């Protein structure tokens, strides 16, 4: 009896049919922009305590580059450090349909694989596009379910995308690719209990997923086997992390290789949880109308039910986050800091800002109500309704995520964000300019990153 191909086998077949020379221009553009954005974030966070801790914990020396660090690491170490640094300030790209962060897993995995194994930039471009595409698509198979089960989709699904990314970069055959996915399924993980106290584990998730996908692909390349039914099996990935095996597999496979959803990846203008961004835009516009915090009696935000457990509850804690990292996942704080400072970049999420009594006082006036018609996760919207002490009610709405498919950041804006982040991390202008020059030609030559150490 003929056994029908598994989801992993069908995925590997689709990837094998992709010609890197035939990638749409928009897919290549997103890949270059991911490279630029992730590199700037690596530099911005390179001297933070959490990045220092991860780098110091890694024993393996090697010839691979953790961007902004002088010490060479083995490939897995470079992937862990780069992925952790790039995600640490929650300023990295996101995919609205998931939600999920693709670039912060896939770029570190592909850079490490290409640098360690001497792959040409064309192979890195293919790996980056394939890995980002699969990561984004996986997040739409059972929307919201991974988060609801208590796991971080970027950590879980990112490991699978990284396995495919490295498989494509290194030219693994169909059988090896399937095994890489099967192995990665046993390496995936990442709980979201960091929400309880603003601790650091979320920062680690993309780096760990990147090195997991890398190791899984390398093991498969050398003959290690994994289950072919890793996705849909009764003990498979989605059973374990989404509590179902009834996913929409067409969302993953339907037109894979022909339509590129990674072209719609959004680049963040603010250094905090993505779903807070439209609310910050509303808050900044409200402040520009001449309203001051003391005039506000209460603010109510209409929100999607799927965002409440991460960004709104427990409400008292979200109104007074325990530290700067927790503030990044508090809509009340993000609205308050945007309103009072007209900013939500790296400087808006410091310990001093998180403890600022003016920001806390305003955040304490902010609550939510669930909008059953909110389109999340297909789209992210924002809303603020402020009741003033004199009885007036003023309102602002934002129909979409700025930086996403409906209002993209331009290449100029992405490069300017990179420069600001590089400056924040201590790079001189000449080095930042050199990296931007490299990024514009990275996929046309050898992937050489040693010039960007230290």
Which tens digits make up the pLDDT trace of 392-417? 999 999 999 999 888 999 999 999 99
Q: How many Å apart are CA 375 and CA 404, to the nearest integer?
A: 15
- 405 falls within a domain: no
Q: Is the pLDDT of residue 309 over 80?
A: yes
Q: How confident is the model at residue 96 (pLDDT cuts 50, 70, 90)?
A: confident
Domain that holds residue 204: 7-268+412-452
* 190 closest CA partner among 211, 221, 169, 218: 211
Beta carbons of 275 and 307 less than 8 angstroms apart: yes
The reply to whether 318 and 220 lie within a common domain is: no
Q: What confidence score (pLDDT) does residue 207 get?
A: 98
Q: Is the pLDDT of residue 1 over 80?
A: no
| Phi, psi dihedral angles at 23 (to 5 degrees) | -60, 135
Which tens digits make up the pLDDT trace of 205-239? 999 999 999 999 999 999 999 999 999 999 999 99
- 407 falls within a domain: no
The reply to whether 350 and 443 lie within a common domain is: no
Residues 253-269 have a mean pLDDT of 96
* 265 closest CA partner among 114, 131, 73, 65: 131
Judge if the upstream peptide bond of residue 205 is cis by omega within 30 degrees of 0: no
- 404 falls within a domain: no
**Integer Rg of the chain from CA:** 21
Q: How many Å apart are CA 183 and CA 176, to the nearest integer?
A: 10
Number of domains in the chain: 2
Q: How many Å apart are CA 114 and CA 166, to the nearest integer?
A: 8
Give exposure, 351-377, as e/b (b: 16+ Cβ within 10 Å): eebbebeebbbbbebbbbeeeeebebb
Instruction: Provide the mean pLDDT of the chain.
Output: 96
Q: How many Å apart are CA 402 and CA 91, to the nearest integer?
A: 13
Q: How many Å apart are CA 103 and CA 40, to the nearest integer?
A: 13
Residues 117-134 have a mean pLDDT of 98
- 419 falls within a domain: yes
The reply to whether 81 and 28 lie within a common domain is: yes
The reply to whether 247 and 377 lie within a common domain is: no
| Phi, psi dihedral angles at 248 (to 5 degrees) | -85, 90
Q: Are strands 393-398 and 382-388 parallel, antiparallel or unpaired?
A: antiparallel
The reply to whether 187 and 231 lie within a common domain is: yes
Among candidate residues 376, 398, 420, the one where a domain is terminated: 398
The reply to whether 129 and 173 lie within a common domain is: yes
Which tens digits make up the pLDDT trace of 169-211? 999 999 999 999 999 999 999 999 998 998 999 999 999 999 9
The reply to whether 119 and 216 lie within a common domain is: yes
* Domain CATH for 141: 1.10.4100.10
Q: What confidence score (pLDDT) does residue 195 get?
A: 87
Q: What confidence score (pLDDT) does residue 377 get?
A: 87
Q: How many Å apart are CA 85 and CA 348, to the nearest integer?
A: 18
The reply to whether 220 and 369 lie within a common domain is: no
The reply to whether 381 and 425 lie within a common domain is: no
Among candidate residues 369, 398, 427, the one where a domain is terminated: 398
Q: What confidence score (pLDDT) does residue 99 get?
A: 86
Q: Are strands 366-370 and 296-303 parallel, antiparallel or unpaired?
A: parallel
- 92 falls within a domain: yes
Q: Is the pLDDT of residue 122 over 90?
A: yes
Residues 117-144 have a mean pLDDT of 97
- 2 falls within a domain: no
* 452 closest CA partner among 24, 42, 84: 42
Residues 377-404 have a mean pLDDT of 95
Q: Are strands 72-73 and 296-303 parallel, antiparallel or unpaired?
A: unpaired
The reply to whether 314 and 385 lie within a common domain is: yes
Q: Is the pLDDT of residue 20 over 90?
A: no
Q: How confident is the model at residue 296 (pLDDT cuts 50, 70, 90)?
A: very high
- 200 falls within a domain: yes
**What is the SS3 string spanning the chain?**
CCCCCCHHHHHHHHHHCCCHHHCCHHHHHHHHHHHHHHHHHHHHCCCCHHHHHHHHHCCCEEEEECCCCCCEECHHHHHHHHHHHHHCCCCCCEECCCCECCHHHHHHHHHHHHHHHCCEHHHHHHHHHHHHHHHHHHCCCCCCHHHHCCECHHHHHHHHHHHHHHHHHHCCCHHHHHHHHHHHHCCCCCECHHHHCCCCHHHHHHHHHHHHHHHHHHHHHCCCCCCCCCCCCCCCHHHHHHCCCCCCHHHHHCCECCECHHHHCECCCCCCCHHHHHHHHHHHHHHHCCCCHHHEEEEEEEECHHHHHHHCCCHHHHHCCCCHHHHCCCHHHHHHHHHHHCCCCHHHCCHHHHCCHHHHHHHCCEEEEECCCCCCCCCCCEEEEEEECCCCEEEEEECCCCECCCCECCHHHHHHHHHHHHHHCCCCHHHHHHHHHHHHHHHHCECCCHHHCC
Q: What confidence score (pLDDT) does residue 405 get?
A: 86
Q: How far, CA to CA in Å, does 179 sit from each of 99, 127, 398? A: 27, 17, 44
The reply to whether 20 and 39 lie within a common domain is: yes
Question: Which residues face 399 on adjacent strands?
Answer: none
* Burial (CB count <10 Å: 0-12, 13-18, 19+), residue 288: exposed
* Domain CATH for 355: 3.30.1330.120
- 87 falls within a domain: yes
The reply to whether 21 and 156 lie within a common domain is: yes
């Amino acid at each position: 009896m003929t056994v029908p191909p598994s989801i992993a086998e069908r995925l590997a077949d689709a990837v094998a049919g992709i010609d890197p020379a035939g990638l749409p221009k928009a897919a290549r553009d997103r890949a270059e922009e991911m490279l630029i954005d992730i590199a700037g974030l690596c530099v911005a966070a390179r001297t933070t305590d959490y990045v220092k801790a991860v780098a110091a914990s890694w024993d393996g020396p090697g010839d691979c580059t953790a961007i902004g660090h002088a010490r060479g690491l083995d490939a897995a170490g470079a992937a862990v450090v780069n992925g952790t640094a790039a995600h640490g300030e929650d300023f990295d790209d996101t995919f609205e349909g998931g939600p999920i962060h693709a670039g912060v897993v896939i770029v570190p995995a592909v850079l490490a694989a290409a640098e360690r194994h001497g792959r040409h930039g064309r192979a890195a471009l293919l790996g980056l596009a394939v890995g980002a595409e699969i990561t984004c698509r996986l997040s739409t198979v059972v929307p919201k379910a991974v988060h609801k089960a208590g796991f971080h989709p970027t950590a879980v699904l990112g490991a699978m995308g990284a396995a495919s990314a490295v498989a494509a970069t290194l030219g693994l055959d169909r059988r090896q690719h399937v095994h890489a996915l099967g192995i990665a399924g046993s390496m995936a993980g990442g709980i979201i209990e960091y929400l309880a106290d603003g601790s650091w584990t979320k920062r680690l998730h993309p780096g760990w997923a990147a090195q997991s996908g890398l190791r899984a692909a390398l093991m498969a390349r050398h003959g290690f086997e994994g289950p072919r039914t890793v996705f849909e099996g009764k003990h498979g990935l989605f059973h374990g992390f989404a509590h179902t095996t009834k996913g929409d597999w067409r969302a993953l496979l339907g037109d894979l290789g022909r339509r590129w959803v990674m072209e719609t990846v959004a680049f963040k203008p603010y250094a905090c949880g993505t779903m807070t961004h439209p609310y910050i835009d509303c808050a900044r516009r409200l402040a520009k109308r001449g309203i001051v915090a003391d005039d506000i009696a209460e603010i109510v935000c209409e929100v999607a039910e799927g965002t409440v457990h991460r960004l709104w509850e427990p409400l008292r804690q979200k109104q007074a986050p325990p530290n700067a990292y927790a503030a990044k996942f508090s809509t009340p704080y993000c609205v308050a800091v945007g309103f009072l400072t007209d900013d939500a970049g790296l400087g808006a999420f410091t310990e001093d800002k998180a403890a600022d009594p003016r920001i806390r006082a305003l955040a304490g006036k902010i609550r939510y109500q669930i909008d059953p018609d909110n389109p999340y996760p297909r789209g992210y919207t924002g809303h603020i309704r402020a009741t003033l002490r004199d009885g007036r009610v003023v309102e602002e709405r934002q129909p979409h995520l700025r930086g996403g498919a409906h209002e993209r950041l331009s290449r100029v804006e992405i490069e300017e964000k990179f420069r600001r982040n590089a400056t924040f991390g201590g790079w001189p202008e000449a080095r930042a300019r050199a990296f931007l020059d490299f990024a514009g030609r990275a996929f046309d030559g050898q992937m050489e990153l040693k010039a960007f150490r230290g």
